[in-house]
Each structure stands twice: as C-alpha cells, then as structure tokens.
Structure 1
C-alpha cells in the first residue's frame, strides 16, 4: 500500500482545492457551499520520485450533533487513523477561530507528523500574518495559495521527506465494481455491508454520497475495488452545481469500471432514470448487474413475485434481457455475497474467448437454420467471423455487403451467440466489414 497523507480542517478553508492541487486533477468537488465534501476522497500523486495517496475529508465540526456532521466527524477520525502525514489546513484570510483550535486539540492526540497549512495566503501580507497560526501548537507552518499554487512545491518537498519509504507498486489490476443508481436506494449500505466497515456515511438523506469512494475488498481470495457513487438524479432535478458535478463523476465511474451494478429500490420499481443509466453502462460495454434492494420490505410475495419483477424489467429494456437480476437486502445482509458471486461470473464472461474455428462452425449452423436474405437482387453472404477482442467481447464478421444486413438479422445473430455462449451480463459488440 502507498503511504497516505490526509487533509483535515474546519469547513470551507480550501481542503478540496489543496487536494486537487496536490494530485494535479480536478477530482474533488470544489464549491463555496459548506459541507460539500462529506466522505473521504482518495487520490494518488507523485513528487520527488515518490508515489503516495491523498485523502480529502469533510469539514470538521466538534460539537454539532446534526446527523451529517456526526458522520463527517467519524470520517475524519478514520482518515487520521489511515494517515502517515496529516495536513492541518487553516484560512490565512480569516485567521484563527475556535473551530481551528478544536481541530488542533484533535490532532495533538495523533502520534503522527502534522504540517500546518495556511491556505489563501495569496499575497505577502497574508504570508507574514500567517505566523499567528503557530499559536495552534504545530511546529511547521506552510503559507500557500492552493488556487495559484504558491508555496505548494515547498509543502510537497516536506511531505515526501516525512513519508515512510515503501516499494513502488504497479497499477492495481483488481476489477472495479461500480454501484450506481438513484439516491437512497442503498448503494452505500451495500458497500458497507460487504466491507463490514463504515466506509461511507449512511443515512436516509437522499444524495448523501456526493463523491465516488473506492474501497479495496477481498472475496474468495480475489481482490476487487468497490466504487460507491453519488446517487443519480433526474437531470431536471440537478439544480445545484455540486449535484451536477456528482452526476458527472458517476458517469466517469461507469466509464472506468469493469462491472456496473445498478441498484433499484424494490418499493419504487424501475424508472426512466434507471433505464438511462443502464443504457449508459451498456454503451461503454461494461458488465451489467441489476439489484433489487430492500426486498425484505416487499410484503406481498409468492413464488412468482421475482419472476414477475424480472419480466417487468426485461419488457422495459428488451435489448438488455441478458442482464442478471438479484433480490437483496443490504440492511439485513440478505444474499449480499451472491452479488459478488454474480459479479465474478460477469467478469469471467467478459474475458471469455471463442476460437475462430469453433465460432465459424457455430456460424455455419445458424446460417443454415436461417439463411441470409436477398438485397437488391443479391444474396447476402457472411464468409467468416472471428472474435477480435475480449474484455469486453468483440466479434468481426466479413461479408459481401454489410450495409445491407437488416437490423433484425443482427439481433438474431446476437440471440444465437447468447443462446450458445451465454455472455451473461456482458454487452456483445458485432462489427460487420466487407471482405
């Protein structure tokens, strides 16, 4: 594991801006509104030949008992436990306040290096005035401007001097499972149940998780990365900038994952927003799974209830009837490990490779069963086909006039491929080229 640097401080001192500056990407949500960063957010960076992780945390409020504030406070404590170096961020524009002193009291309990970072020191006067922060009892002070980058080089130099030496690792090859869906369907609850760890803030407030959170998870001696995403809202309801950023970030999580796991609230059904995000994941050729969460709350159940719900979903998205559907209860941990079993199955299906000879023998049989039609007085012919890619699977067909191949015959070919080779939960790409 790479060494870890955490960024802590009271709300609205620029922690997320510093995080983005240190990792060199606009990864954390940056906004003037209080409480935007709610969960720990991880990023990786490189300086002076050293790779390390950076954790951005929510604003620390010591006494507020609001459910969200309590959750943020717990997240900060977890981040501190994971850290090798702690950056204590204060606001050089506003000076010391009582919340800064509360954070300082918390950090005095940590037996780890703490660097005091006076952000917003955008001019010489503020840099000179920053010496007042020595009153907080931290020995090393770094006046910086996260927006302009002033002083961040010296800060990074000192961070890398304090970090433990760890052998560099190659990029994590573990498959990524992204849990996606509307707000408050139980994504964070499921991730927490799998991890058996309060890795995300879980409340019944819609939209609690605004940034994506990645967690390493080992199941049946295999490593995975679980990606808990912000709840997707209908576009017309994305009014706040931060909600928009979260929606964009969820889309990125879909693009970067191996398997997209769409969670539905069994009490609310399958809505247009769910269909849209499922098709979005299919567009990027991701492995697909649908979870009906809160199944324990469905009171009127019989032997056909699951089948009827599956039929309802498949009729809503008829081209996606290859996607497996599971019923679970994240809260009661019912069948949650079945999710991992099916996810592993989908991962293996994405990697499935069919030899060219076997595939052409199969193709010859289905062409005999349903010959290609005539177009403009010419008989359409597929000479041969081959799988040109795995993970995800791509098949290339060579024929005389591919532009004349009807859409219903393409669908027929895909149905026959699935009938023979399954590819459960995996979109199939078929490319037709003129020989």
Structure 2
C-alpha cells in the first residue's frame, strides 16, 4: 500500500537534503543559506523495501497570512493535510530553538503519525543535541545525518512502527499468478507503458507561470505572489486533462545570464534548463503587455535547438485592449522574429481569469502530435520531385548539386536524411527552402525540423591523375 510522508521543520534543518537522499536524486535545490525551498515538491522515495511518496516543504516561519512566509506556511499546511505521516526535523547540532517548539504545536494539532528526526546528528555535538528532542514530547528522536547517509536503519524502523498497516508486507496468495513486470509481456518483449505528456512552462520572471499552473489544476498548488523570482525549484505536477495524462513542470523565471549573479538564481536557472531538455512540449509564457523581449527570443531559440515542440502563450491577456488587432499583430511578429519555429501556435490566455486554458492545452496536444509525426518515404519523394522541379539546387563550380532521395530517420522532432552528390556545398538558403516546403506540404507548424545529408562515395577520389 502506498503512502505519503511530509518533511516539516524550520528553515535550514536539512529537509531538502533528506528529500534528495530518499528519492536518490538531487531534485531539490540545496544551499547553506536558509529559506531555499519555497514550494512543496513531491517525489518517489525508497527506504529499505518501502516505496512511498515524499513531500519536501518550505521552512516554517512566522508571518502574516498575506506575506511571503505566510503563503509559504500555507503550502506546508496543505502538505501536512495530504500526508499520512510527518517527518518533523530539527537541527541536532544547534539543538532545539523557540521556533522548533512553536512549530511542534502545529504538527501536534495535525493529529497524524509523527516521527521526530534529529538531523545533522553526526559527531559529539550532534549526539548531545539529538537528546534535546525529548523535550518536545513528540516521541523518541531518530538521530541521523541526511548528508552522510547515517541513521536510516533507525528511520526505517520508526516508519514501520508509525504506519504498521501501510508498511505491512502484502499477504501472499499461493494460487495467484504473479503480475507481469511493467514493461514486459508474456514473451519477454518490451511494452510501451502509458506515460504522461511532459510539458515545461518557461519564461522570464513574473510572467505568471505558477499562476497559470494553479489555474489549470484548479487549486493553489504552487506559491504565487507579486514578488518576481518566487519559484526556485522546478516543480512537476501530474493531472488529467480530458482523459489525457499530463505532467507539467513549473520553472524558475529565466533572466539574461549576464544579469544573474546570485548562486541560488544560477542553480534555479540550471534546473529550469534541465526541464526544457527532458520535456516533450515547452510552453514559452510571455507577458502579453511586454512580449517578445530579447530574453523571450533567446528562450525560443533554445527550445528549438533542444528539439522540443514549442507553444507560445500570451499571458495576462485580460489586460489587453483591442484584442483582435493585437493578436494579429503579435502572430505576425512571432513569424518575423522566430522563423526557425515558423507556425508555432500563439495562444492568448490569462492565468488570473482562467481564460484560454482549453485553447492552450489543445495547442499543447496538437504540437505534440506534430512533433511525433512520421511521413512515408514514398510521400516524401513525391514532394521532393516537385520541389526540385520548382526550384532546382544551384550549381557549384560549374557542377549542379544533385538531390536524389529523401527519407525520414525518426520523429521527436522530425528528422530527415537527404541523399545526393555535393550536398556539403548545399547553401543554407536552399536548405531553408526545403524545410519550409516540408512544413507546408506535411503540416508541420512550429516543429523543429532537422536535415542531415549523405553523399555517395566518389570512386575516383583517391585515383592518381593520368599522365599525358
């Protein structure tokens, strides 16, 4: 039986380090300064033979509800509500603080199974501080070191005691047939498991990415506010949209590299760039009131170079007057400024008013279909014959470039291979002609199109010239 654990504690007690240790990856950003984590992040954890969901949360801080600490605390309280049990962390090297005692009352009121974890318990100072945990009245503290991997056997035992039903081994039925492993069928060949569509939402700071995801989910899942740069970790959330499974990633706002000096912002930016590399579709979210800034164009170019499907979202559309004329203007501007992704869908929307969400998701699914499209070799070569007849390749040094054949090597993104002679001399302008022709003939709007060239061997290349 699966279950959920929320990691709770004040800032800088090692919650994200424990989260990363349990999921086996460096998913959450970690730094020595307090308050790095702001949103709650969920991952699949393993502890011994137990597999469960683990939620990393922001450090608990006091503050008014409308303030940033207050909004962060509200996210943590939602994580507590969703969890089956709680890991309450304190810093054993520092010992108990007044904040630890105050927030202990918060988790005590939750009335859920709780494991008190004395993190950073390595060394004599840590050992002494761990014993202070008894003063909280939350049970025996479990001393461990998330950074060094010590004490996890004791944490495993405490988890078995806290959740006896959820952690009990399933009863074996001798008459039952063991289920097939995911990815295998009866003859051992691989199956294609159904996976959610991976979508990354990227853009400049304060473009409204977290607000958009909250609107799509219909809940305040992600931290939002007027402060730019709120999001640091890349947070993935799964949901069902009209029968389609989607995993959408909220990312940190990306500024020009020259302007980024803070280490945390650099780490958050690298996390966002990784999200682009592993996504299938990228939604580039623009502020419709100041669209197509230089950074927007840089991000669109990056998405194209990474070979991802692109959808351009014009957020804050509720603030735009004369919308029809403005949309036509911005579509023309997109075609002019981003010829490498010609035809990429441009969708007006508003995360604040939930306007245009259906159009956005339809554009995402359509872009994914184009990105996956395969075209038969016969159709490609019929098209090629017409394209060559309409505009033959130019001659080079008195010899005409010959393109004999085209085929599609793969999709995701569409990748084509040309066969012929002297293709290494094919001008970039003619290659663009072929790319635009492929887009138009086979309905490939916005998809990054890749073309490789293969030439036949010249049998006379290594022969010696004949003497007269």
Compared with structure 1, are the counterparts of its residues 176 and 157 closer, same or farther at alpha carbon in structure 2 (3 Å cutoff)? farther
Question: 149-158 or 74-83: which moved more?
Answer: 149-158
Q: Give the C-alpha shift of residue 389 in structure 1.
A: 0.8
Q: Give the C-alpha shift of residue 2 in structure 1.
A: 5.1
Counting only pairs closer than 5 Å after superposition, residues 406-421 of structure 1 correspond to structure 2 as 406-421=427-442
Q: Give the C-alpha shift of residue 157 in structure 1.
A: 5.4
Q: Give the C-alpha shift of residue 65 in structure 1.
A: 4.3
Q: Within the alignment, does 1:212 sit opposite 2:209 as a pair? A: no
Q: Within the alignment, does 1:425 sit opposite 2:446 as a pair? A: yes
> Which residue is 2:31 aligned to?
31
Q: Within the alignment, does 1:347 sit opposite 2:368 as a pair? A: yes
> Which residue is 1:245 aligned to?
267
Q: Within the alignment, does 1:289 sit opposite 2:345 as a pair? A: no
Compared with structure 1, are the counterparts of its residues 169 and 243 closer, same or farther at alpha carbon in structure 2 (3 Å cutoff)? farther
Contact 1:50 1:160 in 2 (8 A): no
> What CA distance in whole angstroms lies between the structure 2 residues aligned with 1:224 and 1:2?
21
Contact 1:62 1:102 in 2 (8 A): no
Q: Give the C-alpha shift of residue 111 in structure 1.
A: 4.1
Q: Give the C-alpha shift of residue 385 in structure 1.
A: 1.3
Compared with structure 1, are the counterparts of its residues 239 and 109 closer, same or farther at alpha carbon in structure 2 (3 Å cutoff)? same
Q: Give the C-alpha shift of residue 190 in structure 1.
A: 0.7
TM-score w.r.t. structure 2 length?
Answer: 0.87
Stretches of 4+ moved more than 4 A in 1?
A: 62-66, 163-172
Contact 1:40 1:79 in 2 (8 A): yes
Of residues 240, 253, 274 in structure 2, which corresponds to 1:231? 253
> What CA distance in whole angstroms lies between the structure 1 residues aligned with 2:340 and 2:130?
61
What SS is found at the alignment partner of 2:109?
coil
Q: Give deviations 1:245-292, integer Å, cap 9, x for gaps.
A: 000000001011111101111111211111111111111111101111
> Which residue is 2:121 aligned to?
121
> Which residue is 1:385 aligned to?
406
**Which of structures 1 and 2 has the bigger CA Rg?**
2
> Which residue is 2:356 aligned to?
335
Q: Give the C-alpha shift of residue 302 in structure 1.
A: 5.8
> What CA distance in whole angstroms lies between the structure 1 residues aligned with 2:327 and 2:108?
55
Compared with structure 1, are the counterparts of its residues 388 and 160 closer, same or farther at alpha carbon in structure 2 (3 Å cutoff)? farther
Q: Give deviations 1:285-331, integer Å, cap 9, x for gaps.
A: 111011111122123x2642211122223322232222111111111
**How many pairs does the alignment contain?**
434
Contact 1:47 1:160 in 2 (8 A): no
> What CA distance in whole angstroms lies between the structure 2 residues aligned with 1:46 and 1:374?
63
| More RCO (CA 8 Å, sep 6+) | 1
RMSD over aligned Cα, in angstroms? 2.2
> What CA distance in whole angstroms lies between the structure 2 residues aligned with 1:302 and 1:28?
40
> Which residue is 1:16 aligned to?
16
Contact 2:94 2:129 in 1 (8 A): no
> What CA distance in whole angstroms lies between the structure 1 residues aligned with 2:21 and 2:446?
39
Q: Give deviations 1:59-100, integer Å, cap 9, x for gaps.
A: 112455461111111111121222233211001112112221
Compared with structure 1, are the counterparts of its residues 318 and 393 closer, same or farther at alpha carbon in structure 2 (3 Å cutoff)? closer
Q: Give the C-alpha shift of residue 345 in structure 1.
A: 0.5
Contact 2:92 2:128 in 1 (8 A): no
Question: 140-149 or 172-181: which moved more?
Answer: 140-149
> What CA distance in whole angstroms lies between the structure 1 residues aligned with 2:390 and 2:407?
20
Contact 1:194 1:337 in 2 (8 A): no
> What CA distance in whole angstroms lies between the structure 1 residues aligned with 2:239 and 2:299?
25
